[in-house]
Amino acid sequence: MLKTLIKSRISAMFASMTQGKKNKKQKKLATGLLIALFVFLIAYFLFAMGAMSYGLCYMGLQTGDTYAVFTMAVIISSALCLFGSIFATKTQIFESKDNELLLSMPIPPKYIFISRMIALLMINYLLEAVVMLPCMVMYGVVIGYEPLGFIFSVVVFLLLPFLTLALSCLIAWVISEIASRIRNKTFVTVFLFIVFFLGYMYLCGSIGMYAGEIEDAMVDLSGLKNTALFYWAGDAMANGSILSLLLFALCVIVPAFLVYFVLDKRFIYIITTKKSKLKVEYKGNSERKLSAYGSLVKKELRRFFSSSAYIMNAGLGNVLCVAFAIFIAISSQDLIAELGGDYEALKRFVPFIASCVCVFMGSMNLVSTPSISLEGKSLWILQSAPINPKDILMAKLSCHLIICTPLSVISAIILCVALGVNVGYSLLVILAVLSSVAFTGYWGLFLGLKFPKFDWQNENVAVKQGFAVFGSMFGSMLFFMILLGVGFILTTISTILGLLVLIAPPAILSAIIHSYLVNGGCVAFENLKDR
């Protein structure tokens, strides 16, 4: 029974990526593109982490801090696992829609809980492998393992996801409990998630990673000894320290066991208790008359801000963009002072770097992508209403632009002011940001129209899963990574050329997609079927 539940849970997660009411040709195309994107992303992240690990191995050999290679990898992988699984944990454990159906069957509740925990653990292992495996391979090639180092590395690899899963469960539980007792559930959920996430990232970033100074292009990594749990993991993996492994294992196993024990005992209570909600007193007021297009835009905005899953999965790039801009602004003066005379030589790259931060973070905004899928079974209402399909599609695009443009432009202004970019280049940076925001909106809407996912029971599925969502995010990231690479090369010749690469191609592609949407896209929308 347990094996069947685990198999069905894992199969459902993978099948949801391409599942949908599409013909065979579309399914094959979506599956093929999905596999290609997976292969590219895995190859990219493996290469990136391998390159970073090689640099750390070289510095570790020079300074004697070989443990720092694994300590950094553990910090990065734990942050990635926590960020990548927290909402899945919240949905699967505390807010799953099939709880009542499964409880009505002759299935022990313990098996339901264990199957979900194992599925979440699998997600953590996949995310961890992208970071840890290249690091382990590069360490063995460049430095070489101690007799017990390799064995302990495998043990740490197997233990770490239990800690991140325990933290995900605790954070998701706190968010779910607090949000259920407050009227504005969406705002509270988003706010608490951001607080937990930024707090965790701040903790990882402030534990002494750069406690030493940069001398002769070499970073003193000794500050990583202050990271306790992460240092113990690195020391066990690099030096084969039995004491460090025992301390790390103790800090992982005890919290993981306590979280599992508490959730297992309260699982039935958690999934069956109907939490009370504050009653909203109705107050009549006048409503301003809007045009059909204005009403559609208002509907899209209301839907976005009423769903915490929609906000965090489709609009998180806005938060990260502002956070990075503020962080760079705070640390910019120290960096400029540290570079000294070299800063003048690198100054031509500053406007391009400011654009890179905003453009790349903005590629994570997917507001327009799931907007068509979210219509679900009510799609027929829009199709049968006396509304021009062009207005419907453009309203969904406008929602994306209204949500993403202000914060992206604000981030660009913060960076330009903090880094001392002149007015002319600042305007080009803002144009690059506007062009990228438009492209992500058009590209996401195009994929959402071509690969809609209407067969969802929970709107989280429409927002987080399916080829349209996956292709929109990683397709945009791939496109902008290519542009950033070309732009960086051209910036060595002229700053304006580098910025024009970030402005022109996204704007041209946006115009092409716009032409399709207002013509063939309208016909495609009218022919969509929700079943």
Proportion of the chain in helix, strand, coil states, percent, rounded to 5: 80, 0, 20
Average per-residue pLDDT for the chain? 79
Contact 75, 230 (CB under 8 A): yes
In a domain, 5, yes or no: no
Contact 362, 314 (CB under 8 A): no
Q: Which parts of the chain register pLDDT below 50? A: 20-21, 207-219
Chain centroid to Cα 133, Å, comes to 21
Same-domain check for residues 249 and 334: no
Query: Which one, of 77, 354, 356, lies nearest residue 233 by Cα?
Result: 77
Tokens representing 432 are 């690059």
pLDDT tens digits, 284-305: 566 666 788 888 999 999 888 8
Query: Which one, of 320, 341, 323, lies nearest residue 331 by Cα?
Result: 323
Q: What count of residues does the chain have?
A: 531
Same-domain check for residues 170 and 230: yes
Q: Which of 272, 305, 339 is the last residue of a domain?
A: 272
In a domain, 206, yes or no: yes
Same-domain check for residues 199 and 239: yes
Same-domain check for residues 343 and 226: no
- Judged on CB neighbours under 10 Å (0-12, 13-18, 19+), 35 is exposed
Q: What is the CA radius of gyration of the chain?
A: 25
Same-domain check for residues 153 and 188: yes
Cα separation values, 230 from 75, 172, 223, Å = 7, 23, 12
In a domain, 422, yes or no: yes
Same-domain check for residues 268 and 352: no
Same-domain check for residues 312 and 351: yes
State the Cα–Cα distance between residues 135 and 145, nearest whole angstrom.
12
In a domain, 423, yes or no: yes
Angle, helix 109-142 to helix 229-239, in steps of 10 degrees:
50
Same-domain check for residues 82 and 189: yes
Same-domain check for residues 238 and 335: no
DSSP 307-361: -HHHHHHHSHHHHHHHHHHHHHHHHHHHHHHHHTTHHHHHGGGHHHHHHHHHHHH
pLDDT value of residue 104 = 72
Tokens representing 160 are 């770490």
State the Cα–Cα distance between residues 138 and 144, nearest whole angstrom.
9
pLDDT value of residue 507 = 94
In a domain, 329, yes or no: yes
Contact 30, 469 (CB under 8 A): no
pLDDT value of residue 321 = 83
Answer yes or no: pTM beyond 0.85.
Answer: no
Contact 301, 403 (CB under 8 A): yes
Contact 432, 359 (CB under 8 A): yes
In a domain, 353, yes or no: yes
In a domain, 10, yes or no: no
Same-domain check for residues 318 and 233: no
What lies within 8 Å, CB to CB, of 359 at 6+ separation is: 432, 433, 436, 480, 483, 484, 502
Same-domain check for residues 257 and 349: no
State the Cα–Cα distance between residues 86 and 82, nearest whole angstrom.
6
pLDDT value of residue 9 = 65
Same-domain check for residues 230 and 367: no
Q: Which of 240, 272, 304 is the last residue of a domain?
A: 272
State the Cα–Cα distance between residues 72 and 25, nearest whole angstrom.
44
Please give the backbone phi and psi of residue 288, each rounded to the nearest 5 degrees, phi first: -70, 135
Segments forming the whole domain that contains residue 89: 22-272
Contact 361, 321 (CB under 8 A): yes
Q: How many domains does the chain have?
A: 2
pLDDT value of residue 15 = 56
pLDDT value of residue 431 = 94
Beta bridge partners of 219: 214
In a domain, 112, yes or no: yes
Question: Could you count the other beta carbons within 10 Å of the beta carbon of residue 486?
Answer: 15
State the Cα–Cα distance between residues 212 and 220, nearest whole angstrom.
5
Query: Which one, of 339, 338, 404, 349, lies nearest residue 371 by Cα?
Result: 404
